[in-house]
Amino acid sequence: MKSTVFRILGLALFLGCAVYGAPTHNSVRDTTDNPPLRGSEDLLGYSSSNKLSEHSTEEVKYTLVTGQKEDADIGTYLDFETADNPQPIRGDMGGTDAGPRNYNYDRINSDKLAPPGSDKGQTINAQWPMGLSRNKLGMDSAGWARQENTVVMPDATKMAGVDMRLEAGAYRELHWHVASEWSLVLNGSCRIQAINENGETFVDDLTEGDVWFFPPGVPHSIQALDPGVEFLLVFDDGSFSEDNTFLASQVFAHNPRSVLSKNLDLPLSAFDNIPSDELYIFPGTPAPKDIEEQNVTTAAGVVPLNESYSYHFSEQPAHEVAGGSVKIVDPATFPIAANFAAAVVTVKPGGMREIHWHPSSDEWTFFIRGKGRATLFEAPSTATTFDYRPGDVGYFPQSHSHYVENTGDEDLVFVEVLQAEAFTDIALGQWIGSTPKQIVADTLKLPESALAELKSEKQYIVAGSKETGAEER
Ligand SMILES: *[C@@H]1O[C@H](CO)[C@@H](O)[C@H](O)[C@H]1NC(C)=O
Ligand SMILES: *[C@@H]1O[C@H](CO)[C@@H](O)[C@H](O)[C@H]1NC(C)=O
Ligand SMILES: *[C@@H]1O[C@H](CO)[C@@H](O)[C@H](O)[C@H]1NC(C)=O
């Protein structure tokens, strides 16, 4: 008992000393053998008794994966997923890492741990995994939403995105926002409804693969139908936040009830049960099967077809190319979304979305399925290769070249979203293939045999094999 009291006293004195001044040789000692928080001045330089570590990194045990011994400039994708101890080695570049470190990051980001020799310097960060975003959980198990914006990707200034899921019957609360909202349904189906400034109304049912668009200020809601729904939202403002939308619950909670009563010509008591806080994502009464029951019209009628807020993109067949398929939706077919142009791209295993850039817009990309990698090249000589998984956001600034290579064994599916009146790109292959051969030969020193093989048509997606990069001929 006595010793405990002394110990507490000693600790208090010791802590007081640590807090109020640097300990000296005469510091009050703990009554135990516990050393003080700081060492002594004797540890400053010129040590006479250097105790060198006997550990050696040469003992690190590892096995190199396929391609890891190749010249670093070849830069084949290194599959570290099943590597016990992936190492930062490419050809004769790099060295071992004994750890400890988080091997989970290294196994799925081999192009970060052992970058191709062609990577150089520091580009912007062109990747955000939604798995690192804090999920906003809806009430009563109704769903969730997680977002990417400039808080986490400071250079992705033109667009931000949200991945949201609503369980069967759940709502994304009635709301509007300052930005435009473009959406791709990723799974399941939902009913959307809105009203525009002319008093024209809109209601429609959408399913996996369909898109919708709501202009700034147009109030709308989303309700999951029977199977529930997951959708991707893209906003034309990189700093957009789902936390800052104008919600029906909040606009009612933050106006005087006397004003609400006067405005809607209702007794004050009508507002006794309005929500005191946001609902955001919450369970609802299932939507009636017959959409006509929810087709509310005003004297202005319905939103005209050429200004429809939905486009049944799921029913558009994909355009097939050698390495996969592409589908484009832009204002040419979906006019209300006047600043959104998008392509849903499917790349077969071994295939690659060819090296290209978008002359009129930054690109915001969302990876839906499969595995891929991309190299962002920034003038004059900076490049970073990123490895992407489902749920990852990619971002490629205007006119910055990039490709997306399928690095897995299944189809890679992603959506490229632009802020543009039309979906356009310039392809490296077509550029070089349609430039006079003499100019190409003088500049790039390609052999005569290679010049003859160059293609003057845009490929969108090229075929290939995982191992060699190019398909065997
Ligand atoms: C939709 O979700 C279901 C249930 O999780 C899943 O089986 C199905 O593969 C998903 N469809 C797509 C296109 O992701
Ligand atoms: C809603 O009713 C209008 C006629 O009032 C009709 O033109 C429109 O197609 C209906 N919408 C739906 C989704 O059925
Ligand atoms: C739809 O058509 C009307 C009438 O022709 C036109 O005024 C309007 O600009 C069109 N809307 C869009 C988005 O093209």
| Domain residue ranges in the chain | 61-115, 133-311, 316-462
Question: Under a CB-based contact definition with an 8 Å cutoff, are residues 414 and 366 in contact?
Answer: yes
In the prediction, which pLDDT does 372 show? 98
What pLDDT band is residue 18 in, cutting at 50, 70 and 90? very low
What pLDDT band is residue 3 in, cutting at 50, 70 and 90? very low
Residue whose Cα lies nearest atom 7 of ligand 2: it is 302
In the prediction, which pLDDT does 465 show? 83
319 is in an annotated binding site: no
Q: Which CATH number fits domain 316-462: 2.60.120.10, 2.40.128.20, 3.60.150.10, 2.60.40.10?
A: 2.60.120.10
What pLDDT band is residue 30 in, cutting at 50, 70 and 90? low
**What is the C-alpha separation between 146 and 395, in angstroms, rounded?**
17
Mean pLDDT of 106-124: 98
- With a cut of 60, say whether residue 146 has pLDDT above it: yes
**What is the C-alpha separation between 258 and 268, in angstroms, rounded?**
7
Q: CATH fold of 133-311, please?
A: Jelly Rolls (2.60.120)
In the prediction, which pLDDT does 42 show? 86
Locate the ligand 3 atom nearest the alpha carbon of residue 335 and give its number.
Answer: 13
Mean pLDDT of 321-332: 97
Nearest ligand to the CA of 198 is 3
Mean pLDDT of 420-427: 98
Question: Under a CB-based contact definition with an 8 Å cutoff, are residues 359 and 423 in contact?
Answer: no
Compute the C-alpha angle 123/380/424, nearest 5°. Answer: 80
Question: Under a CB-based contact definition with an 8 Å cutoff, are residues 123 and 382 in contact?
Answer: yes
Question: Under a CB-based contact definition with an 8 Å cutoff, are residues 123 and 384 in contact?
Answer: yes
CA of 308 to the centre of ligand 2 (A): 12
Residue whose Cα lies nearest atom 10 of ligand 3: it is 306
Is 293 designated active site?
no
Output the ligand 3 site: residues, CB below 6 A: 304, 306-307, 335-336
Nearest ligand to the CA of 411 is 1
Mean pLDDT of 332-344: 98
pLDDT in tens, 197-246: 999 999 999 999 999 999 999 999 999 999 899 999 999 999 999 999 99
Mean pLDDT of 297-309: 97
pLDDT in tens, 363-397: 999 999 999 999 999 999 999 999 999 999 999 99
- With a cut of 90, say whether residue 21 has pLDDT above it: no
CA 59 to chain centre: 38
108: left (phi over 0), alpha (psi -120 to 50) or beta: alpha
In the prediction, which pLDDT does 471 show? 44
Q: Do the domains at 133-311 and 316-462 have one common CATH topology? A: yes
In the prediction, which pLDDT does 57 show? 57
Report the amino acid identity of residue 412.
L
The reply to whether omega before 380 is within 30° of 0 (cis) is: yes
In the prediction, which pLDDT does 197 show? 97
